Structure 1
Amino acid sequence: MSSIVPLGTYRVIDSDDGSAEVEAHMEFIELAIQQANLARPIDTAFSVGSLLVHGRQIIATGFSRELPGNTHAAQCAIQKSKSATLSHFVQGSVLYSTMEPCSSRLSKNTACSAHIISAGIREVIIGVKEPLTFSECKGVAQLREAGINVVHLKVLEEECLKPNVHLLL
Protein backbone atom coordinates (compact mmCIF):
# COMPACT_ATOMS: atom_id res chain seq x y z
CA MET A 1 0.00 0.00 0.00
CA SER A 2 1.46 3.39 -0.97
CA SER A 3 1.25 6.41 1.28
CA ILE A 4 0.19 9.73 -0.16
CA VAL A 5 2.54 12.62 0.55
CA PRO A 6 0.69 15.94 0.94
CA LEU A 7 1.71 18.52 -1.65
CA GLY A 8 4.06 21.16 -0.28
CA THR A 9 2.96 24.77 -0.37
CA TYR A 10 4.33 27.53 -2.60
CA ARG A 11 4.25 31.11 -1.39
CA VAL A 12 5.58 34.28 -2.98
CA ILE A 13 6.79 37.16 -0.83
CA ASP A 14 7.18 40.20 -3.05
CA SER A 15 7.55 42.97 -0.47
CA ASP A 16 9.22 43.58 2.85
CA ASP A 17 6.28 43.93 5.23
CA GLY A 18 8.57 44.27 8.24
CA SER A 19 7.40 40.98 9.77
CA ALA A 20 9.86 38.84 11.71
CA GLU A 21 9.45 36.05 9.14
CA VAL A 22 10.31 38.25 6.15
CA GLU A 23 13.21 39.90 8.00
CA ALA A 24 14.68 36.48 8.89
CA HIS A 25 14.27 35.21 5.31
CA MET A 26 15.93 38.36 3.96
CA GLU A 27 18.82 38.03 6.40
CA PHE A 28 19.53 34.44 5.38
CA ILE A 29 19.11 35.07 1.65
CA GLU A 30 21.56 37.98 1.95
CA LEU A 31 24.06 35.55 3.53
CA ALA A 32 23.37 33.12 0.67
CA ILE A 33 24.11 35.95 -1.80
CA GLN A 34 27.49 36.36 -0.09
CA GLN A 35 28.09 32.66 -0.71
CA ALA A 36 27.08 33.02 -4.38
CA ASN A 37 29.63 35.80 -4.76
CA LEU A 38 32.35 33.32 -3.71
CA ALA A 39 31.62 31.14 -6.76
CA ARG A 40 34.00 31.61 -9.67
CA PRO A 41 31.86 32.83 -12.61
CA ILE A 42 31.85 30.51 -15.62
CA ASP A 43 29.94 30.59 -18.91
CA THR A 44 28.29 27.19 -18.50
CA ALA A 45 26.61 27.40 -15.07
CA PHE A 46 25.05 29.79 -12.59
CA SER A 47 26.75 31.05 -9.45
CA VAL A 48 24.46 30.17 -6.57
CA GLY A 49 24.75 30.34 -2.79
CA SER A 50 22.97 28.24 -0.15
CA LEU A 51 22.59 27.98 3.60
CA LEU A 52 21.17 25.12 5.63
CA VAL A 53 19.48 26.52 8.74
CA HIS A 54 17.83 25.12 11.87
CA GLY A 55 15.95 27.81 13.77
CA ARG A 56 18.40 30.72 13.67
CA GLN A 57 21.51 28.50 13.55
CA ILE A 58 23.41 27.95 10.31
CA ILE A 59 24.26 24.27 9.94
CA ALA A 60 26.29 24.60 6.73
CA THR A 61 26.86 26.89 3.75
CA GLY A 62 27.65 26.17 0.13
CA PHE A 63 28.29 27.81 -3.19
CA SER A 64 28.52 26.62 -6.78
CA ARG A 65 31.69 24.68 -7.59
CA GLU A 66 32.93 24.95 -3.99
CA LEU A 67 33.68 21.23 -3.69
CA PRO A 68 35.29 19.02 -6.34
CA GLY A 69 33.09 17.31 -8.90
CA ASN A 70 31.11 20.11 -10.58
CA THR A 71 29.04 20.66 -7.45
CA HIS A 72 26.05 22.95 -7.00
CA ALA A 73 25.41 25.19 -3.96
CA ALA A 74 22.65 23.18 -2.27
CA GLN A 75 24.59 19.97 -2.87
CA CYS A 76 27.68 21.52 -1.21
CA ALA A 77 25.73 22.73 1.84
CA ILE A 78 24.07 19.32 2.29
CA GLN A 79 27.34 17.45 1.78
CA LYS A 80 29.18 19.72 4.25
CA SER A 81 26.35 19.38 6.78
CA LYS A 82 27.11 15.68 7.20
CA SER A 83 30.28 16.56 9.12
CA ALA A 84 28.91 19.70 10.82
CA THR A 85 28.48 19.99 14.57
CA LEU A 86 24.74 20.46 14.04
CA SER A 87 24.38 17.59 11.54
CA HIS A 88 21.62 16.01 13.64
CA PHE A 89 19.42 19.03 12.78
CA VAL A 90 19.54 18.60 8.98
CA GLN A 91 16.33 16.58 8.81
CA GLY A 92 13.54 19.11 9.23
CA SER A 93 15.78 22.10 8.50
CA VAL A 94 15.34 24.98 6.05
CA LEU A 95 17.48 25.48 2.96
CA TYR A 96 18.02 29.02 1.68
CA SER A 97 19.16 29.30 -1.92
CA THR A 98 19.70 32.32 -4.11
CA MET A 99 18.24 30.35 -7.02
CA GLU A 100 15.68 27.59 -7.46
CA PRO A 101 17.34 24.19 -6.86
CA CYS A 102 18.01 22.35 -10.11
CA SER A 103 15.72 19.51 -11.18
CA SER A 104 18.17 17.86 -13.59
CA ARG A 105 21.84 18.10 -14.41
CA LEU A 106 23.31 18.13 -17.90
CA SER A 107 26.39 16.51 -16.32
CA LYS A 108 24.18 13.60 -15.16
CA ASN A 109 25.11 14.35 -11.51
CA THR A 110 22.29 14.12 -8.97
CA ALA A 111 20.01 17.17 -9.06
CA CYS A 112 19.84 19.49 -6.05
CA SER A 113 16.10 18.86 -5.65
CA ALA A 114 16.88 15.14 -5.17
CA HIS A 115 19.59 15.94 -2.60
CA ILE A 116 17.12 18.15 -0.70
CA ILE A 117 14.38 15.52 -0.70
CA SER A 118 16.81 12.80 0.39
CA ALA A 119 18.15 14.96 3.26
CA GLY A 120 14.66 15.43 4.72
CA ILE A 121 14.69 19.22 4.45
CA ARG A 122 11.20 20.59 5.26
CA GLU A 123 11.27 24.00 3.59
CA VAL A 124 13.23 25.78 0.85
CA ILE A 125 13.44 29.56 0.52
CA ILE A 126 14.57 30.76 -2.92
CA GLY A 127 15.55 34.22 -4.10
CA VAL A 128 14.78 33.69 -7.78
CA LYS A 129 13.39 31.00 -10.08
CA GLU A 130 16.07 29.57 -12.36
CA PRO A 131 16.22 31.53 -15.65
CA LEU A 132 15.77 29.58 -18.89
CA THR A 133 19.43 30.14 -19.84
CA PHE A 134 20.39 26.44 -19.72
CA SER A 135 17.19 24.44 -19.18
CA GLU A 136 13.62 24.57 -17.96
CA CYS A 137 13.94 23.98 -14.23
CA LYS A 138 11.25 22.06 -12.39
CA GLY A 139 12.91 22.18 -8.96
CA VAL A 140 10.03 23.92 -7.19
CA ALA A 141 7.53 21.42 -8.61
CA GLN A 142 9.67 18.43 -7.58
CA LEU A 143 10.08 19.80 -4.05
CA ARG A 144 6.35 20.45 -3.69
CA GLU A 145 5.53 16.97 -5.01
CA ALA A 146 7.72 15.60 -2.22
CA GLY A 147 5.75 17.60 0.37
CA ILE A 148 8.40 20.31 0.85
CA ASN A 149 7.19 23.88 1.33
CA VAL A 150 8.77 26.50 -0.95
CA VAL A 151 8.87 30.26 -0.38
CA HIS A 152 9.92 32.52 -3.26
CA LEU A 153 11.40 35.67 -1.69
CA LYS A 154 10.96 37.88 -4.75
CA VAL A 155 11.90 41.01 -2.81
CA LEU A 156 15.61 40.16 -3.30
CA GLU A 157 15.47 38.74 -6.86
CA GLU A 158 17.66 41.43 -8.40
CA GLU A 159 20.42 40.91 -5.81
CA CYS A 160 20.22 37.13 -6.27
CA LEU A 161 20.77 37.50 -10.02
CA LYS A 162 23.80 39.84 -9.74
CA PRO A 163 26.41 37.03 -9.36
CA ASN A 164 25.18 35.83 -12.78
CA VAL A 165 25.13 39.10 -14.68
CA HIS A 166 27.72 37.67 -17.13
CA LEU A 167 25.15 35.05 -18.23
CA LEU A 168 22.06 37.23 -18.33
CA LEU A 169 23.14 40.14 -20.55
Structure 2
Amino acid sequence: MSSTIPLGAYRVIDIDDGSTEVEVHMEFIELAIQQANLAQPTDTAFSVGSLLVHGRQIIATGFSRELPGNTHAAQCAIIKSKSTPLSHFVQGSVLYSTMEPCSSRLSKNVPCSSHIIGAGIKEVIIGVKEPMTFSECRGVAQLRKAGINVTHLKVLEEECLRPNVHLLT
Protein backbone atom coordinates (compact mmCIF):
# COMPACT_ATOMS: atom_id res chain seq x y z
CA MET A 1 0.00 0.00 0.00
CA SER A 2 1.34 3.41 -0.89
CA SER A 3 2.54 5.59 1.98
CA THR A 4 0.75 8.58 0.38
CA ILE A 5 -2.65 7.27 1.48
CA PRO A 6 -3.68 9.14 4.62
CA LEU A 7 -4.14 7.18 7.85
CA GLY A 8 -7.72 6.02 8.19
CA ALA A 9 -8.44 6.53 4.49
CA TYR A 10 -11.54 5.17 2.73
CA ARG A 11 -11.12 4.17 -0.88
CA VAL A 12 -13.62 2.84 -3.38
CA ILE A 13 -12.51 0.64 -6.26
CA ASP A 14 -15.41 0.30 -8.66
CA ILE A 15 -13.65 -0.98 -11.78
CA ASP A 16 -11.20 -3.73 -12.51
CA ASP A 17 -8.42 -1.65 -14.06
CA GLY A 18 -6.17 -4.69 -14.48
CA SER A 19 -3.66 -3.39 -11.93
CA THR A 20 -1.81 -5.81 -9.70
CA GLU A 21 -3.40 -4.22 -6.62
CA VAL A 22 -6.95 -4.75 -7.88
CA GLU A 23 -6.18 -8.28 -9.07
CA VAL A 24 -4.76 -9.23 -5.65
CA HIS A 25 -7.75 -7.70 -3.84
CA MET A 26 -10.14 -9.56 -6.14
CA GLU A 27 -8.30 -12.84 -5.57
CA PHE A 28 -8.58 -12.56 -1.79
CA ILE A 29 -12.19 -11.35 -1.82
CA GLU A 30 -13.08 -14.34 -4.04
CA LEU A 31 -11.50 -16.61 -1.40
CA ALA A 32 -13.52 -14.78 1.28
CA ILE A 33 -16.67 -15.43 -0.78
CA GLN A 34 -15.82 -19.15 -0.67
CA GLN A 35 -15.68 -18.84 3.12
CA ALA A 36 -19.04 -17.03 3.20
CA ASN A 37 -20.56 -19.91 1.24
CA LEU A 38 -19.54 -22.27 4.07
CA ALA A 39 -21.75 -20.41 6.56
CA GLN A 40 -25.07 -22.07 7.36
CA PRO A 41 -27.75 -19.61 6.14
CA THR A 42 -30.04 -18.16 8.78
CA ASP A 43 -32.88 -15.64 8.78
CA THR A 44 -31.32 -13.62 11.61
CA ALA A 45 -27.78 -12.85 10.40
CA PHE A 46 -25.67 -12.43 7.28
CA SER A 47 -23.33 -15.08 5.93
CA VAL A 48 -19.91 -13.44 5.66
CA GLY A 49 -16.42 -14.70 4.88
CA SER A 50 -13.08 -13.24 5.96
CA LEU A 51 -9.36 -13.77 5.50
CA LEU A 52 -6.41 -12.37 7.43
CA VAL A 53 -3.48 -11.81 5.08
CA HIS A 54 0.15 -10.79 5.49
CA GLY A 55 1.70 -9.93 2.13
CA ARG A 56 0.29 -12.71 -0.05
CA GLN A 57 0.20 -15.26 2.76
CA ILE A 58 -3.12 -16.22 4.37
CA ILE A 59 -2.81 -16.23 8.16
CA ALA A 60 -6.35 -17.45 8.92
CA THR A 61 -9.84 -17.69 7.46
CA GLY A 62 -13.26 -17.40 9.01
CA PHE A 63 -16.95 -17.49 8.23
CA SER A 64 -20.11 -16.56 10.08
CA ARG A 65 -21.09 -18.96 12.86
CA GLU A 66 -18.01 -21.12 12.25
CA LEU A 67 -17.06 -21.21 15.93
CA PRO A 68 -19.39 -21.61 18.91
CA GLY A 69 -20.96 -18.53 20.46
CA ASN A 70 -22.73 -16.84 17.53
CA THR A 71 -19.41 -15.75 16.03
CA HIS A 72 -18.94 -13.50 13.01
CA ALA A 73 -16.46 -14.07 10.18
CA ALA A 74 -13.78 -11.51 11.12
CA GLN A 75 -14.00 -12.58 14.75
CA CYS A 76 -13.47 -16.24 13.72
CA ALA A 77 -10.45 -15.39 11.57
CA ILE A 78 -8.89 -13.38 14.40
CA ILE A 79 -9.56 -16.10 16.99
CA LYS A 80 -8.16 -18.81 14.70
CA SER A 81 -5.09 -16.70 13.87
CA LYS A 82 -3.93 -16.92 17.49
CA SER A 83 -3.19 -20.63 17.14
CA THR A 84 -1.33 -20.53 13.83
CA PRO A 85 2.44 -20.36 13.28
CA LEU A 86 1.78 -17.02 11.55
CA SER A 87 0.11 -15.39 14.59
CA HIS A 88 2.97 -12.89 14.92
CA PHE A 89 1.92 -11.41 11.54
CA VAL A 90 -1.63 -10.46 12.63
CA GLN A 91 -0.60 -7.02 13.87
CA GLY A 92 -0.15 -4.96 10.72
CA SER A 93 -2.02 -7.46 8.52
CA VAL A 94 -4.89 -6.95 6.07
CA LEU A 95 -8.38 -8.30 6.69
CA TYR A 96 -10.50 -9.16 3.66
CA SER A 97 -14.22 -9.42 4.33
CA THR A 98 -17.14 -9.98 2.00
CA MET A 99 -19.15 -7.49 4.06
CA GLU A 100 -18.41 -4.43 6.17
CA PRO A 101 -17.37 -5.50 9.69
CA CYS A 102 -20.16 -4.98 12.21
CA SER A 103 -20.09 -2.02 14.58
CA SER A 104 -22.62 -3.36 17.08
CA ARG A 105 -24.11 -6.73 17.93
CA LEU A 106 -27.75 -7.32 18.81
CA SER A 107 -26.47 -10.32 20.82
CA LYS A 108 -24.30 -7.95 22.90
CA ASN A 109 -21.17 -9.80 21.72
CA VAL A 110 -18.09 -7.70 20.89
CA PRO A 111 -18.47 -6.27 17.35
CA CYS A 112 -16.02 -7.20 14.61
CA SER A 113 -14.76 -3.64 14.25
CA SER A 114 -13.60 -3.78 17.89
CA HIS A 115 -11.89 -7.16 17.33
CA ILE A 116 -10.09 -5.72 14.28
CA ILE A 117 -8.93 -2.61 16.13
CA GLY A 118 -7.78 -4.69 19.11
CA ALA A 119 -5.80 -7.07 16.88
CA GLY A 120 -3.80 -4.21 15.34
CA ILE A 121 -4.93 -4.91 11.78
CA LYS A 122 -3.77 -2.06 9.52
CA GLU A 123 -6.15 -2.34 6.58
CA VAL A 124 -9.57 -3.79 5.78
CA ILE A 125 -10.81 -4.60 2.29
CA ILE A 126 -14.59 -5.09 2.05
CA GLY A 127 -16.70 -6.40 -0.79
CA VAL A 128 -19.93 -4.65 0.19
CA LYS A 129 -21.23 -2.24 2.84
CA GLU A 130 -23.60 -3.95 5.27
CA PRO A 131 -27.22 -3.62 4.10
CA MET A 132 -29.70 -2.03 6.53
CA THR A 133 -31.51 -5.36 7.02
CA PHE A 134 -30.76 -5.67 10.74
CA SER A 135 -29.13 -2.42 11.86
CA GLU A 136 -27.30 0.67 10.67
CA CYS A 137 -23.68 -0.46 10.48
CA ARG A 138 -20.93 2.03 11.25
CA GLY A 139 -18.01 -0.41 10.97
CA VAL A 140 -16.15 1.53 8.30
CA ALA A 141 -16.45 4.76 10.29
CA GLN A 142 -15.18 3.07 13.47
CA LEU A 143 -12.22 1.53 11.63
CA ARG A 144 -11.28 4.82 9.99
CA LYS A 145 -11.54 6.66 13.30
CA ALA A 146 -9.06 4.13 14.71
CA GLY A 147 -6.63 4.92 11.85
CA ILE A 148 -7.31 1.77 9.84
CA ASN A 149 -7.39 2.14 6.07
CA VAL A 150 -10.53 0.75 4.42
CA THR A 151 -10.99 -0.11 0.76
CA HIS A 152 -14.39 -0.95 -0.68
CA LEU A 153 -13.88 -3.30 -3.63
CA LYS A 154 -17.23 -2.64 -5.31
CA VAL A 155 -16.42 -4.71 -8.41
CA LEU A 156 -17.47 -7.90 -6.58
CA GLU A 157 -20.49 -6.58 -4.65
CA GLU A 158 -23.02 -8.85 -6.34
CA GLU A 159 -20.93 -11.94 -5.61
CA CYS A 160 -20.43 -10.85 -1.99
CA LEU A 161 -24.18 -10.46 -1.50
CA ARG A 162 -25.09 -13.79 -3.13
CA PRO A 163 -24.74 -15.91 0.08
CA ASN A 164 -27.38 -13.61 1.61
CA VAL A 165 -29.89 -13.46 -1.21
CA HIS A 166 -32.56 -15.02 1.07
CA LEU A 167 -32.33 -11.94 3.35
CA LEU A 168 -32.33 -9.32 0.59
CA THR A 169 -35.39 -10.26 -1.50
Q: TM-score range by the shorter chain?
A: over 0.9
Find the counterpart in structure 2 of residue 112 from structure 1. 112
- How many angstroms does 1:39 deviate by? 0.1
Matches within 5 A, 1:2-151: 7-151=7-151
Query: Does structure 2 retain, via aligned residues, the 8 Å contact 1:7–1:145?
Result: no
1:113-164 alpha-carbon deviations (Å, 9 max, x no partner): 0000000000000000000000000000000000000000000000000000
- How many angstroms does 1:106 deviate by? 0.2
Q: Pairwise CA RMSD of aligned residues? A: 0.7
Find the counterpart in structure 2 of residue 156 from structure 1. 156
1:10-33 alpha-carbon deviations (Å, 9 max, x no partner): 000000000000000000000000
Letter in 2 for 1:128: V
Give the aligned length: 164
Q: Return 5+ residue gaps in structure 2 as ranges.
A: 1-5
1:82-134 alpha-carbon deviations (Å, 9 max, x no partner): 00110000000000000000000000000000000000000000000000000
Q: Return 5+ residue gaps in structure 1 as ranges.
A: 1-5
Q: TM-score, normalised by structure 2?
A: 0.96
What fraction of aligned residue pairs are identical, expressed as a percent? 88
Letter in 2 for 1:157: E
Alpha-carbon distance in 1 for matches of 2:17, 2:92: 26
Q: Which runs of 4+ in 1 moved over 2 A?
A: none
